[in-house]
Chains A and B, each alone.
Chain A
Amino acid sequence: MAIIDLQNVTYKYPLTDSPALQNINLHVNEGEFVAVIGPNGAGKSTLCYTIAGFVPHFFKGEITGTVEVAGNESSKSSLHEWVLNVGLAFQNPFNQISGAKYTVFEEIAFGLENIGVPRYEMKSRIADTMKLTGISDLAGRSPYSLSGGQQQRVALTSILVMQPKVLVLDEPTSQMDPIGTREVFGVIRTLAEKGMTVVMVEHKVEWIANFADRVIALHEGKILLEGKPDEVLTSDLLTDKGFGISRYTSVARKAKELGLWKQDKLPVTLDEAVEGFTLPPNPSPEGRGG
């Protein structure tokens, strides 16, 4: 069943001439992990804001079409009703930290206080979520004393603790080291398997290929491509339109021109590249490693 349903959504920010999103149709099933890719100005953050209700409740502007999440229609709901179902982690964690709290623990409690969760439940939920995202040791620190990667974990934790049905993440690992990135992708994958729906904007295509169920390629406010990660991420269209692609895809494409890549399909991940360069010519190499 579709938990996110966007039909013919076109949206223009106030005082702008051209729409940031044009005629978007997007259906995401419960428990699906969808990655969104696209160059600068493609509309990725705007799509996040739209699913999370910030468009049109906070950003105003003109919206046409319908946005439904968990059976509610965005234009007929208030933002405070909406946030009970949908959590959004901003691209820049600095913009998300409330500024009203002295410690990481209090920061994470902020959302729960606002929806009136009882104190005893709040404490255990916060402790559990901090453990999940690996920040238990930061509980007493000031959110402002943390590194960018640590702030991103706090921002993610403060959304997860709300237990939203739909999790919208705008480049949640952009300031993280590779181990941090792996852990966060792992946590999100696990949550998706438990039924949380995830929409994640991400540039790190190798990670998307390993973790996401589906990829949406946005370009100039429209959906350019949509499908399984390995199909979308190896499409020639992406390089032509200024998308970032995996180094494995790029080098295999060049090797192919030189007759040194003998498979039909191009790789996205390390394991696919290793397999493709070592196996004898085979039109459709199977299997995808971890």
Chain B
Amino acid sequence: MNIEISNLHFTYPTGVTALRGIALMIESGEQVAIVGQNGAGKTTLVKHLNGLLQPTSGYVRIGEWDTQEHSVAKLARRVGYVFQNPDEQLFSKNVGTEVAFGPKNLGYSSEQVQASVKDALGMTELSDKTETNPYDLSPTWRKMVALASVIAMDTDIVIFDEPTTGQDAANIARIANVIKVLRERGKTVITITHDIDFCAENFERLIAMSHGQVLLDGKANDILGQAEILATTYVEPPQLTRLGKRLGFKETVRNEQEFLAEL
């Protein structure tokens, strides 16, 4: 299911213009990271994908659905959204109920709900915490509950807003693994992140945004090599990319393997 965004403009009711003519095509099964300075319009953009925001002008299509012609509830069948702050989306008394809420609401049979919940809890390493109240978990595990509750909906498109914020090394590895499994299943994954190292290690396509527009869009290595343009939207290339550059490598490197091969 492709995502098509055409000449998208958006102005908040307060008068703040957040998007100024976005045109993007994201194909089914792509893994895309969106980077850019605070206030560049990243969250505003992805909130258009599930209808939380509606274009001031232009359009967004999820498959053949124009987001202006379908409710948020209906778009939720196609687009899952994991909020930056898990506390904005968690409300149930225990983890199992929380994760079952989405698939139940989509009208899945109870067998399907059970299977989805089991799968999502397994992927996020929460299987032993089904009976726990999400608010008795640490913020890092609450983040995994938020991930699981969206994964359980089994949507073709999954959006993560700043998934690694405040997470420790072990949890970042868990999140990277979730993204890998979703890729293997052919899901489209779109992630907003300031964690450029995480982005470089887990995404093939990068979109850099600045002042409500797309500044750069392309293969990760090509984008990460353009340090000067990235700097205009306050993005620094990943640590190993910068190190490679300082050491005079010909190729842009973005992970340990590539770095050691060039050394």
Contact of A111 with B by CB under 8 A: no
With A and B bound together, what is the CA distance between A255 and B14 in angstroms? 53
**A residues within 8 Å of B by Cβ?**
38-41, 91-92, 94, 145, 147-150, 171, 174-180, 203, 206, 242-248, 250-251, 254-255, 258, 260, 270, 273-274, 277-278
Task: State how many angstroms separate the Cβ of A49 from the closest Cβ of chain B.
Answer: 14
Total A-B pairs, Cβ < 8 A: 109
B263 engages A148 (CB within 8 Å): no
With A and B bound together, what is the CA distance between A150 and B194 in angstroms? 14
Q: Cβ of B16: which chain A residues have Cβ within 8 Å of it?
A: 145
User: Which of A145, A148, A244, A251 counts the most chain B CB atoms within 10 A?
Assistant: A251
The answer, among A175, A177, A180, A254, for a CB contact under 8 Å with B260, is A254
Binds A, one of B49-57, B99-107, B108-116, B242-250: B242-250
B263 engages A149 (CB within 8 Å): no
The answer, among B238, B243, B260, for a CB contact under 8 Å with A258, is B260
Q: Cβ of A277: which chain B residues have Cβ within 8 Å of it?
A: 243, 247, 263
**B residues within 8 Å of A by Cβ?**
12, 14, 16, 36-39, 43, 84-85, 87, 138-141, 162, 165-172, 194, 196-197, 234-236, 238-240, 242-243, 246-247, 256, 259-260, 263
Q: Cβ of B235: which chain A residues have Cβ within 8 Å of it?
A: 177-178
B246 engages A250 (CB within 8 Å): no
Task: State how many angstroms separate the Cβ of B147 from the closest Cβ of chain A.
Answer: 15
A242 engages B169 (CB within 8 Å): yes
A179 engages B139 (CB within 8 Å): no
The answer, among B38, B139, B246, for a CB contact under 8 Å with A177, is B38
A39 engages B240 (CB within 8 Å): no
Task: Assess A206 versus B239: contact at CB under 8 Å? Given A92-B87, A260-B263.
Answer: yes
With A and B bound together, what is the CA distance between A123 and B169 in angstroms? 42
A179 engages B37 (CB within 8 Å): yes
Task: Assess A39 versus B194: contact at CB under 8 Å? Given A92-B85, A177-B37, A180-B38.
Answer: no
Closest 10 A/B residue pairs (Cβ)? A149-B38, A244-B169, A247-B239, A179-B234, A177-B234, A40-B140, A39-B168, A40-B168, A178-B236, A274-B246
With A and B bound together, what is the CA distance between A258 and B261 in angstroms? 11
Smallest CB gap from B173: residue in A: A242
Task: Assess A174 versus B165: contact at CB under 8 Å? Given A148-B84, A247-B240.
Answer: yes
Q: Cβ of B168: which chain A residues have Cβ within 8 Å of it?
A: 38-40, 203, 242-244
Task: Assess A91 versus B234: contact at CB under 8 Å? Given A180-B38, A248-B243.
Answer: no
The answer, among A179, A203, A244, A270, for a CB contact under 8 Å with B243, is A270
Q: Cβ of B236: which chain A residues have Cβ within 8 Å of it?
A: 178
A274 engages B243 (CB within 8 Å): yes
B242 engages A270 (CB within 8 Å): yes
Smallest CB gap from B200: residue in A: A247
Task: Assess A176 versus B166: contact at CB under 8 Å? Given A40-B138, A270-B246, A277-B247.
Answer: no
Q: Cβ of B170: which chain A residues have Cβ within 8 Å of it?
A: 39-40, 242
B259 engages A251 (CB within 8 Å): yes
